[in-house]
Amino acid sequence: MVRNRNLAKAISDAGWGMFTNFLAYKLEDKGGVLVEIDRWFPSSKLCSNCYNQVSELPLDVREWTCPHCKTHHDRDGNAATNIRAEGIRMLQVDGTSISADGGEVRPKGGRKSVLWHCPLKSETA
Ligand SMILES: [Zn+2]
């Protein structure tokens, strides 16, 4: 589509920026908060059960078993669990009131969103 790689990257970045701006705006409107995790956070390589991190996980590996706790993972499901836990951890570090243990968030508008249980590192250590 775009032959110049730098231009393609700039357009891609602008598209992502526009998307996150739109998302942040919509969330703020609903009393929510957009949390962006570090792009290098090892969401796929981290076992969501014991937090052991594998050194290599090629993109074609869609399922894997943790060598430490033997939990079998779907790559994307495991990554989603880790991203969610990291987002909750970041909210807690920021001092925003949120519960990671089946709790709920009550935004400004009085509506509430229920968070599903997701153990954090500090809860299992
Ligand atoms: Zn594990």
Q: How far, in Å, CA of 45 to CA of 70, rounded?
A: 14
Q: Sign of dihedral through CA atoms 74, 80, 83, 85?
A: negative
Q: How many domains does the chain have?
A: 2
Q: How far is the CA of 46 from the centre of ligand 1 (A)?
A: 8
pTM of the model: 0.63
The string of pLDDT tens digits covering residues 60-70 is 999 999 999 99
- Domain region containing 111: 35-124
The string of pLDDT tens digits covering residues 69-112 is 999 999 999 999 999 999 999 988 876 655 444 444 444 343 33
Residues, Cβ < 5 Å to ion ligand 1:
47, 49-50, 52, 66, 68-69, 71
Closest CA to 116 of 73, 79, 85: 85
Same domain, 63 and 114: yes
Same domain, 62 and 111: yes
Same domain, 42 and 26: no
The string of pLDDT tens digits covering residues 29-62 is 999 888 889 989 999 999 999 999 999 999 999 9
